[in-house]
Structure 1
Amino acid sequence: MASPMSAARFLEQLRAEGVTVVEVGDWEHHNRNHKGPWGPVHGVMIHHTVTKGSELTVKLCRNGHGDLPGPLCHGVITKDGRVHLVGFGRANHAGKGDDDVLRAVIDEEPLPRDNESTADGNRHFYGFECENMGDGEDPWPEVQLEAIERVSAAICRHHGWSERSVIGHLEWQPGKVDPNGFTMASMRDRVRARLK
């Protein structure tokens, strides 16, 4: 059981890992905590946005849309490798997912196939939206992949987690495909190497 780090510690950890951070408004207090608890935290979840353009992507992830108010993540990782902090606390990014997957993340065991939507992921995961169309053709620049690696490692390092605590949305919730264009196995390999 891990308590979420403070916003100040989160920022400190990211910078210590060499992440280029952009603070967006009062991100430290922008959250959905009034809708449910934030924590205990068990992992990091990676998404793609299905958007083009950094400015539009950051605005959407901060404010949300329609029936899904923001923040839609804690940080937006744009194609230039910058991490735009848009919220901290409970965020609308993970939704309901598989409780067997959650148990595997907590135990840092191999992930089972997701087939249920019963566990509250917004409560238990730090979330990062990554600017990409998610069509398998939009490229993932190396600087962006490195930023994903660094934010994941920073959070794992703080909590004493291994790379097995980093998952993709597609591993959490039935029917999701994100992130598309690289494998989470390859990203976990990168995080493992960085943590060493």
Structure 2
Amino acid sequence: MATIPWLVDVLRGAGVQVVTHGDWLNRMRPGSFNPIGVLWHHTAATSSATNPHPALNICINGRSDLPGPLCQALVDYHGVFHVISAGRCNHAGTARASGPIPAGDGNTMLIGWEIDYNGVNQQMTAAQYNASVAATAAVLKQLGKDASYARGHRETSTTGKIDPSFIDLNVMRSDVAAKMAGGGTAWSAIVDNSTAGRFNASANWGVSTYSAQRYGADYRYADPVAASDAAWYKFNVPATASYRVEAWWPAVSGYNASTPYIIATTTGNQTVYVDQRVNGGQWRNLGTFALPAGDANRVAVSRWSGSAGYVIADAVRLTRV
């Protein structure tokens, strides 16, 4: 039985943020696996910024009526790919012919993304869509296939599946084709305060779950002082170019009115001040800056503020423009 041990490297090479879970290289169902395409699903679970992957455990371990793993990767609310298998998974069942995909055993022929949204009164997020397009393009290139080999479960299902809801699959294939041709979504990456190996702060920074506006499970906070004691976000910037820098923080009336964000640009550090009492629970644009290529600390939240109230370090996003 074939496996795809290259999956994580291919995804990361495409700029997709990846988290692996357990023994993903050997977690798989028995049977044949010779993939020729990629199949999109939705999980039917309701995800959110604070609960970004509610279906992850089920996708890994399965259900009482269907043993796991149930996909090669789950795509969470923030567009992070959670890779759980390099082999055959129970995600496609018996497939009917769709485009270049013939009728047959869908679990043999197709690599599956479970995109974590409910598909009834919730659409996939832009981050989920963009990451899924980038991942699909990269995997199809690896397989030597074109964008027509990207399908939705509702196109191959023999039992009336509706997933993935709320997207035009022909537009999806056009976006995948554009990405494969070198266009499409710009490089983008997110570092949260809990991103392993990408966030660094001293012990003076506490951990809080107080505000539901947080990005991810928690965020960091510290009293303002007359010293930087910065919390740093590390990014692997692919090329020296212009990047939009955005920050996410939970807003609370007692938080800091003048929190300094430091951006390490090609010409030195630049500082942007934000009012963390307002405009929380969303991405806020700090500006566009020239950043050097390489894997290094690029953005920081400093404690050196003249205002009262906690300074907050939650999440930062870079996007090439």
What TM-score range do you get, normalising by the shorter chain? 0.7 to 0.9
Partner of 1:31: 28
Would the aligned equivalents of 1:169 and 1:178 in 2 still touch at CA under 8 Å?
Answer: yes
User: Hey, what's the Cα distance between the residues in 2 that align with 1:61 and 1:120?
Assistant: 19
Would the aligned equivalents of 2:3 and 2:86 in 1 still touch at CA under 8 Å?
Answer: no
The residue type paired with residue 19 of structure 1 is V
Would the aligned equivalents of 1:42 and 1:105 in 2 still touch at CA under 8 Å?
Answer: no
Partner of 1:92: 90
Partner of 2:18: 21
The residue type paired with residue 41 of structure 2 is H
Would the aligned equivalents of 1:90 and 1:122 in 2 still touch at CA under 8 Å?
Answer: yes
User: Hey, what's the Cα distance between the residues in 2 that align with 1:125 and 1:106?
Assistant: 9
User: Hey, what's the Cα distance between the residues in 1 that align with 2:118 and 2:135?
Assistant: 21
Partner of 1:163: 147
**Count of paired positions:** 176
Q: Identify the structure with the greater strand proportion.
A: 2
- Whether 2:190 is the aligned partner of 1:195: answer no
The CA deviation at 1:85 is: 0.5
Q: How does 1:1-196 map to 2 (within 5 A)?
A: 6-7=4-5, 9-32=6-29, 34=30, 36-39=31-34, 41-53=35-47, 54-98=52-96, 100-101=97-98, 104-106=99-101, 119-135=104-120, 137-174=121-158, 175-196=160-181
Q: Identify the structure with the greater helix proportion.
A: 1
Would the aligned equivalents of 2:123 and 2:165 in 1 still touch at CA under 8 Å?
Answer: no
What TM-score results when the alignment is normalised by the length of structure 2?
A: 0.52
The CA deviation at 1:27 is: 1.0
User: Hey, what's the Cα distance between the residues in 2 that align with 1:138 and 1:56?
Assistant: 14
The DSSP-based 3-state class of the residue aligned with 1:28 is coil
The DSSP-based 3-state class of the residue aligned with 2:81 is strand
The CA deviation at 1:4 is: 5.3
The residue type paired with residue 11 of structure 2 is L
Percentage identity across paired residues of the two chains: 32
Larger Rg: 2
Residues 96-147 of structure 1 deviation map (CA, whole Å, 9 limit, x = unaligned): 011x33xx4259xxxxxxxxxx611001100010011111x30322111001
User: Hey, what's the Cα distance between the residues in 1 that align with 2:146 and 2:26?
Assistant: 28
In structure 2, the gaps of 5 or more residues are 182-321
Would the aligned equivalents of 2:123 and 2:166 in 1 still touch at CA under 8 Å?
Answer: yes
Would the aligned equivalents of 1:97 and 1:120 in 2 still touch at CA under 8 Å?
Answer: yes
RMSD: 1.7
Would the aligned equivalents of 2:4 and 2:87 in 1 still touch at CA under 8 Å?
Answer: no
User: Hey, what's the Cα distance between the residues in 2 that align with 1:128 and 1:5?
Assistant: 16
- 5 and 16 in structure 1: CA distance in 2 versus 1, 3 angstrom threshold: farther
User: Hey, what's the Cα distance between the residues in 1 that align with 2:36 and 2:106?
Assistant: 10
In structure 1, the gaps of 5 or more residues are 108-117
